[in-house]
Amino acid sequence: MVVKLTMKVGIPRALLFYKFFPMWTTFFRELGVKVIVSPNTTKQIKTESVKHAPDEDCYSTKLYFGHVMAIKDEVDYLFIPRFGSSHKTNVSCPKFIGLAEVLQSMFPDLPPIIMPFYSTAKSGHGKRRLIYLIFSIGFKFTKNPFRIIKAARRAYKEQKVHYENLILDEKTLHKWEQTEYLLNNFLSPEEGERPIKIALVGHSYVLNDDFASLNIQQILKEHGVDYITSEQLPRSLVEKQMDKLDYNLYFDYEREILGTIMHFIERKSIDGIIHLIIFSCGPDSITGEMAARYAQRDPSVPLLQLTFDELTSETGLETRIEAFLDLSRRRKK
């Protein structure tokens, strides 16, 4: 096989990219591959998404199609992992597993797709499988096994550093909950004035995609809100909340979402919770219903649930957020 000098691997900036981008991009770069990540979501990407994706898909999966279309002609391979789980019982969304094959069968002219499958819950995968996948991908780009090992080590390290920077430790979280300590250093409140504290809860690919979330983080910043996202909550506190359920919520990322909501409803340490829900998402519909019930049972921390799809309007959203922030401020006083 002739290996081109610089191969290009395309990674769509959507879904699990937002969780694993440090690991994925580092691995390929360390192998000497040029990584092409699709641009931030735009109106054009959304238009392409709606044109190409099946109608019944959730909005986030639809956007994935647009991101694939945005880079497919520039790359030698697409990287679309089929990630099921790294937990012995809990799983991620089944869409993550099927997407690569759906795309391949719908669009046969796509570049070859690297689609490693990994699922501890369904297939008992562990370290051996991981090593197999690392080498089987690595050997596509280099014959040097030591380079592959080095790339994998660096990738793991980058991912670890990313999590360390992103997820708060319990001490910092409690400091934020109980004192004047601010999480967002862009805020400069007047003396004696404490910004309201909000938890912004949802999937990482909604929270971090400004277009898909209609710039919600920016809106909160403009309103001087000190917010925390569900991605930042210590995993130990999420699991503590999950232990209180009398059944196992087996969608791993929904645990993060519901666990965060339950934590703040229980602690009453913030002024409100904004829950971002994706239209026609099965796991979100379960979590959304449960979160609403918890909030009704104990209404001391108001909960605003916003549903996003390709038709959600920015103006309508902003009005709802403003009204919610007003309510939260009044309750605080």
Site for ligand SF4 in 142-171 (CB under 6 A): none
The smaller minimum CB distance to ligand SF4, of residues 19 and 197, is found at 19
38's tokens: 């699709």
The nearest distance, CB 297 to ligand SF4, in angstroms, is 25
- List the one residue out of 235, 311, 239, 299 whose CA is nearest residue 273: 299
CA dihedral 8, 13, 15, 21 (to 10 degrees): 70
Binding map of ligand SF4 across residues 42-61, x = CB under 6 A, - = no contact: ----------------x-xx
Site for ligand SF4 in 210-249 (CB under 6 A): none
Binding map of ligand SF4 across residues 102-141, x = CB under 6 A, - = no contact: ----------------------------------------
Distance in angstroms (rounded) separating the CA atoms of residues 142 and 134: 12
Site for ligand SF4 in 59-78 (CB under 6 A): 60-61
The nearest distance, CB 187 to ligand SF4, in angstroms, is 30
- Largest alpha-carbon pair distance within the chain? 70
DSSP string, 215-259: THHHHHHHTT-EEEEGGGS-HHHHHHHHTTSSS---BHHHHHHHH
**What are the residue ranges of helices labelled H in the chain?**
17-30, 43-52, 59-71, 94-106, 120-123, 127-138, 145-166, 170-178, 204-207, 216-222, 235-242, 252-267, 282-297, 314-332
Site for ligand SF4 in 178-217 (CB under 6 A): 203
CA distances, 194 to each of 42, 172, 182, 269, 304 (Å)? 35, 18, 9, 13, 21
Binding map of ligand SF4 across residues 251-280, x = CB under 6 A, - = no contact: ---------------------------x--
State the number of binding residues for ligand SF4 (CB under 6 A).
12
Tell me: does residue 93 bind ligand SF4 (CB under 6 A): yes
Binding map of ligand SF4 across residues 277-316, x = CB under 6 A, - = no contact: -x--xxxx--------------------------------
Interface residue list for ligand SF4 (CB under 6 A): 15, 58, 60-61, 93, 95, 203, 278, 281-284
